[in-house]
């Protein structure tokens, strides 16, 4: 695996592939690589001629500066895991490569897509994500962008951004990868208090129950039930939302939506966990 820290070196390496018409798969990450990231890398490896993974802990998407400082950066292990998953290139840009002095961020307003769910709880987060993903796509110019459905709202917003600013890249949404007990892999899982770890899979269990419940009840009953169950179990639920899987509008009447996704954000001790599950219809990556 080749490791590059400057745009120039990375682009020089990719140039012959581009000229030969090879497909370039891109997996942007913030590091602290786990099995979920590795699945994205493997999928890109299966579908693309060249797979490039980036690690860039983007300061502009952290609404809480403490979170940025606490963000894990186990670089040696990351390199090992990324190479083990079959990446061809690891791109480790320094801040000034991503945000040079003359940098001008893309202008794209996702409107209501960023006002729901994560929006009110993480002010400025999606502006930061839009800025960095656009910038990375603009530099790398991949054929395909691999993103996890774990961050459902994020991939929806990026999908709209790509369409709106007409970037020539295909967004590939990838299935959520879970630990054996159902907890979605996340860089934050290692920070869960061991005494609370056994409760963590209840988010997924509750989403599974919610899917059954939606067969007979309306969305609002399921919302209220889901939040209450998680709070009773010891979480602090920020939202237990049932949204349209395309527009992210809150579901009022389930019959009016072909794709309904249950999205959850809840604190367990001092760790904020998010997860989601398709409750009605076919997942985007099906």
Spot the catalytic one: 2, 34, 37, 257: 37
CB-side exposure of 284: number of CA atoms within 13 Å? Answer: 25
Cα separation of 258 and 194, whole Å?
Answer: 39
State yes or no: residue 150 binds ligand AMP (CB under 6 A): yes
Per CB under 6 A, the segment of 110-118, 119-127, 147-155, 229-237 that binds ligand AMP is 147-155
Active site residue 34: no
x-marked contacts with ligand AMP along 19-48 as a string, rule CB under 6 A = ----------xx-----xx-xx--------
Q: Which helix (DSSP H) or strand (DSSP E) does residue 238 occupy?
A: strand 236-244
Per-residue burial over 165-204, b = 16 or more CB atoms within 10 Å of its CB, e = otherwise: eebebebbbbbbbbbeeebbbbbbbeebeeeeeebbbbbb
Per CB under 6 A, the segment of 134-142, 172-180, 216-224, 276-284 that binds ligand AMP is 172-180
Cα–chain center distance at 71: 16
Bridge partners for 170 per DSSP:
144
Instruction: For the CB of residue 188, give the shortest distance to ligand AMP in the complex, in Å.
Output: 9
State yes or no: residue 276 binds ligand AMP (CB under 6 A): no
CB-side exposure of 109: number of CA atoms within 13 Å? Answer: 2
- Of 36 and 214, the one with the shorter C-beta distance to ligand AMP is 36
Biggest CA-to-CA distance, the chain: 58
Q: Which of 11, 68, 165, 177 binds ligand AMP (CB under 6 A)?
A: 177
**Total of chain residues touching ligand AMP, rule CB under 6 A:** 17
State yes or no: residue 148 binds ligand AMP (CB under 6 A): yes
State yes or no: residue 202 binds ligand AMP (CB under 6 A): no
Per CB under 6 A, the segment of 14-22, 133-141, 181-189, 199-207 that binds ligand AMP is 181-189
Cα separation of 21 and 15, whole Å?
Answer: 10
Q: Which of 47, 127, 151, 221 binds ligand AMP (CB under 6 A)?
A: 151
* Residue 259 · residue 246 · CB < 8 Å: yes
Task: Look at residues 159, 134, 178 and name the one whose alpha carbon lies nearest to residue 273.
Answer: 178
**Residue whose C-beta lies closest to ligand AMP:** 148
Per CB under 6 A, the segment of 184-192, 195-203, 226-234, 236-244 that binds ligand AMP is 184-192
List, as own/partner pairs, every contact residues 239-244 make where C-beta atoms lie below 8 angstroms and the sequence separation is at least 24, other chains included: 239/117, 239/121, 239/263, 239/264, 239/265, 240/206, 240/210, 240/264, 240/266, 241/116, 241/117, 242/210, 242/214, 242/279, 243/116, 243/117
Q: Which of 185, 235, 239, 240 binds ligand AMP (CB under 6 A)?
A: 185
- Of 142 and 148, the one with the shorter C-beta distance to ligand AMP is 148
* Residue 26 · residue 142 · CB < 8 Å: yes
**Which residues in the 52-111 window bind ligand AMP by CB under 6 A?**
none
State yes or no: residue 176 binds ligand AMP (CB under 6 A): yes
**Which residues make up the interface to ligand AMP (CB under 6 A)?**
29-30, 36-37, 39-40, 147-148, 150-151, 174, 176-177, 184-187
Which residues belong to the active site? 37
């Amino acid at each position: 695996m080749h490791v590059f820290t400057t745009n120039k070196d990375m682009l020089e390496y990719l140039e012959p592939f581009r000229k030969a018409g090879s497909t370039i798969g891109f997996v942007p990450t913030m590091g602290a690589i786990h099995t979920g990231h590795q699945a994205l890398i493997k999928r890109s490896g299966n579908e693309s001629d060249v797979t490039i993974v980036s690690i860039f802990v983007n300061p502009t998407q952290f609404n809480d500066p403490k979170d940025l400082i606490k963000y894990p950066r186990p670089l040696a292990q990351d390199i090992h895991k990324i190479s083990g998953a079959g990446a061809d290139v690891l791109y480790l840009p320094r801040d000034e490569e991503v945000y040079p002095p003359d940098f001008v961020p893309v202008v794209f307003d996702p409107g209501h897509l960023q006002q729901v769910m994560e929006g009110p709880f993480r002010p400025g987060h999606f502006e930061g994500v839009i800025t960095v993903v656009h910038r990375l796509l603009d530099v790398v110019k991949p054929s395909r962008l691999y993103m996890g459905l774990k961050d459902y709202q994020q991939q929806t917003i990026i999908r709209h951004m790509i369409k709106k600013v007409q970037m020539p890249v295909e967004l590939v949404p990838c299935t959520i990868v879970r630990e054996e007990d159902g907890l979605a892999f996340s860089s934050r899982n290692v920070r869960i208090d061991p005494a609370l770890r056994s409760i963590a899979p209840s988010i997924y269990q509750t989403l599974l129950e919610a899917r059954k419940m939606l067969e007979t009840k309306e969305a609002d009953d399921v919302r209220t039930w889901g939040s209450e169950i998680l709070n009773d179990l010891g979480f602090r639920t920020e939202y237990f939302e049932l949204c349209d899987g395309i527009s992210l509008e809150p579901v009022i009447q389930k019959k009016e939506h072909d794709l309904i996704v249950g999205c959850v954000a809840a604190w367990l001790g001092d760790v904020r966990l998010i997860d989601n599950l398709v409750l009605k219809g076919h997942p985007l990556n099906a």
